[in-house]
């Protein structure tokens, strides 16, 4: 009785932090769909070869990969707020350098801006962990869900800003990158309200299995494969979709609307995916996610009408949600607490390694396959098949093995 009465006071600071992080996810997070909408289109007008149109997105993912460990170290030493300041600074610098690159038609400078934007992309991945830092066990799931709800707002705000800013200046898309600078400036003020106690690092050697031993665990291996395939295929198709939409005769605003529908489809299922997992099991949810991803490819290859793009990208978002969240759930139940940092770091490295390869492949397939936009879009979606077979085969292999006890 006494414990329940004191719970609201205990979670008071956590709720304040969650409100800050929801606002950050909605406002600063809007820059990610903005960049995904315009980066390929801007790259196409700057790149010396059309095959390199989406290279900036690949470079941004590389920047995110390379900055993850330094950001984590900054947060461990100086606190979450310091790490988020660095992320916002990286996002603002990225927007400024990309805008300048557009103004002087410099593709290398545009790529440099994309790399710096990856610093923000990496820092955004820590928002959900920061939400859980100061929350009680009972409030933690709600805290994470609320922060994810901020992603729904960013999915609407970002593409809407693209419609307003894409042609607002003499140089196309420069206004969008100027808006990115403003979003990150707002973030600096938001993060001043964040108050998360710094946790002292653990002393002594870490226990548990080595990375190789962890990857040899069947459930961990399958979780990593499905997470990597789900995220990489989502990135592969989403990266090329604005180019395909515009290349098939539709407007930039149509591409922005398609991306909005896709990002909403990524986040909305999160509010019930956990309940579905509890009801039918994580393996079935992952399998359903892979089937939905395959359905997205089938719909995309069925035609290039605007409704095909909408339906395919919505299915892509839902399939990613089921596959990626299912794989994450399986992973967390297959390692111990002392192995958490080691395994989750390895998982993210492998997942974003796959995303990097997908980003590099997307532009080449889209712009250098068959000589037309339609042929390139077909090639992008057909490329999903072998990876879906790999992930589906891994799930079947796991199902045929004797059941393992969760950690």
Q: State the pLDDT at residue 52.
A: 79
Render pLDDT for 165-218 as a digit per residue (tens, 0 to 9).
988 888 889 999 999 999 999 888 888 888 876 655 444 445 678 878 888 889
Q: What is the mean pLDDT of residues 34-58?
A: 84
Q: State the pLDDT at residue 89.
A: 95
Query: What's the burial of 6, exposed, middle or buried (CB within 10 Å: 0-12/13-18/19+)?
Result: exposed
Give the global pTM. 0.74
Q: What is the mean pLDDT of residues 137-155?
A: 70
The pLDDT of residue 3 is above 60: no
Average pLDDT value over all residues in the chain: 83
Q: State the pLDDT at residue 8.
A: 46
The pLDDT of residue 327 is above 60: yes
Whether the CB-CB separation of 112 and 30 falls below 8 Å is answered with no
User: 407 or 303: whose pLDDT is higher?
Assistant: 303
CA distances from 79 to 13, 75, 83, 272 (A): 16, 4, 7, 32
Whether the CB-CB separation of 60 and 114 falls below 8 Å is answered with yes
Render pLDDT for 369-401 as a digit per residue (tens, 0 to 9).
767 888 889 999 999 999 999 999 999 999 988
Three-state DSSP at 370 gives coil
Whether the CB-CB separation of 53 and 373 falls below 8 Å is answered with no
Q: State the pLDDT at residue 404.
A: 58
The pLDDT of residue 140 is above 70: no
The CA distance from 130 to 56, in Å, is 28
DSSP H stretches of helix in 281-383: 282-301, 306-332, 340-367, 373-382
Residues with Cβ within 8 Å of residue 202, at least 6 apart in sequence: none
Q: What is the mean pLDDT of residues 299-328?
A: 91
Task: Using a pLDDT cut of 70, give the percent of the chain over it.
Answer: 86
The CA distance from 394 to 387, in Å, is 11
The pLDDT of residue 25 is above 50: yes
Render pLDDT for 66-83 as a digit per residue (tens, 0 to 9).
887 788 778 777 888 898
> Domains of the chain, with CATH numbers?
12-196 (1.20.1250.20), 208-402 (1.20.1250.20)
Whether the CB-CB separation of 27 and 156 falls below 8 Å is answered with no
Q: Please, which pLDDT band fits residue 104 given cuts at 50, 70 and 90?
A: very high
């Amino acid at each position: 009785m006494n414990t329940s009465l004191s719970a609201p006071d205990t979670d008071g600071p956590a709720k304040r932090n969650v409100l800050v992080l929801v606002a950050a996810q909605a406002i600063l997070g809007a820059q990610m769909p903005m960049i995904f909408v315009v980066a390929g289109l801007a790259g196409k007008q700057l790149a010396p070869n059309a095959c390199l149109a989406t290279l900036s997105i690949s470079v941004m993912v590389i920047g995110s990969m390379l900055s993850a460990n330094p950001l984590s170290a900054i947060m461990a030493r100086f606190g979450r707020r310091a790490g988020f300041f660095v992320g916002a600074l990286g996002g603002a610098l990225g927007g400024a350098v990309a805008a300048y690159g557009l103004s002087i038609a410099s593709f290398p400078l545009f790529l440099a801006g994309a790399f710096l934007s990856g610093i923000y992309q990496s820092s955004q991945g820590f928002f959900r962990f920061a939400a859980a830092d100061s929350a009680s066990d009972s409030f933690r799931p709600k805290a994470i869900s609320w922060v994810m709800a901020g992603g729904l707002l960013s999915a609407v705000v970002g593409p809407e800003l693209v419609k307003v800013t894409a042609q607002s200046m003499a140089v196309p898309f420069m206004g969008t990158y100027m808006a990115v600078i403003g979003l990150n400036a707002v973030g600096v003020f938001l993060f001043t309200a964040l108050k998360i106690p710094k946790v002292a690092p653990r002393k002594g050697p870490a226990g548990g299995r080595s990375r190789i031993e962890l990857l040899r665990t069947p459930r961990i291996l399958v979780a990593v494969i499905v997470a990597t395939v789900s995220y990489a295929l989502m990135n592969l198709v989403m990266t090329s979709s604005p180019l395909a939409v515009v290349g098939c005769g539709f407007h930039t605003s149509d591409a922005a609307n398609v991306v909005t529908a896709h990002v909403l489809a990524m986040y909305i299922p999160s509010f019930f995916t956990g309940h579905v997992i509890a009801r039918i099991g994580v393996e079935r949810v992952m399998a359903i996610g892979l089937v939905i991803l395959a359905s997205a490819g089938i719909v995309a290859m069925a035609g290039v009408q605007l409704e095909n793009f909408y339906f395919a990208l919505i299915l892509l978002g839902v399939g990613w949600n089921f596959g990626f969240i299912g794989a994450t759930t399986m992973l967390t139940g297959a390692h111990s607490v002392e192995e958490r940092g080691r395994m989750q770091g390895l998982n993210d490295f492998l997942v974003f390694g796959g995303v990097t390869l997908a980003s590099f492949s997307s532009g080449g397939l889209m712009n250098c396959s068959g000589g037309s936009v339609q042929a390139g879009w077909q090639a992008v979606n057909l490329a999903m098949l072998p990876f879906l077979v790999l992930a589906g085969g891994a799930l079947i292999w796991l199902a045929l093995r004797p059941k393992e006890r969760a950690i």
